Amino acid sequence: MAMQIGGSDEEDVVISTINTTPLVDVMLVLLIIFLITVPVTRQMVPVALPSEHNQPDQTRPKDIVISVDKDGDVFWNNQRVSDNTVLLQKMEAEAVKVPQPEVHIRGDQQAHYQAVGAVVNLCQRAGIAKVGFILQPPPRG
């Protein structure tokens, strides 16, 4: 039997983990240095900035909704219009307003293209600048 004097086998074991204490110390020192020097390096000219306010220049007119049902009947903001000459007169009265209102056309899916096309043609003849179509959005999914 052999006897060891003054040492053990555990002292010769290599530690394979990284000692992160010096790294953390260096990072904390750098953080403190940057916190101190950043306000000093930012040089700004003192300027009195204007305050923000929002005032509309003009009030927006109410949009006109023209509906065409499946039978070809035309409605001006939910009121039936008897014929195209009355519709043209109403459009011409709206076309001279400043700012000019937008015309939104709601055409029934079963309506003939000719009825909706006639409304678009009347908008063009009256001088309406902004004409749009209202559609059913597709289902999400």
| Of the candidate ranges 5-14, 32-41, 66-75, the one whose mean pLDDT is the lowest | 5-14
Please report the sign of the dihedral spanned by the C-alpha atoms of residue 95, residue 101, residue 124, residue 110: negative
User: Top-level CATH class of 64-133?
Assistant: alpha beta
Q: Where are the domains of the chain?
A: 64-133
**pLDDT of 13-66, one tens digit each?**
777 788 888 889 999 999 998 888 877 666 667 777 677 766 665 656 789 999
**Residue 13 has what pLDDT?**
74
Q: What is the pLDDT of residue 70?
A: 92
CA 110/CA 70 separation, integer angstroms: 5
**Chain segment 119-138, per-residue pLDDT in tens:** 999 999 999 999 999 888 77
Look at residue 11 and give its three-state secondary structure: helix
More confident residue, 136 or 108: 108
CA dihedral 117, 121, 124, 125 (to 10 degrees): -170
What was the pLDDT predicted at 91? 95
The one-letter amino acid at 134: I
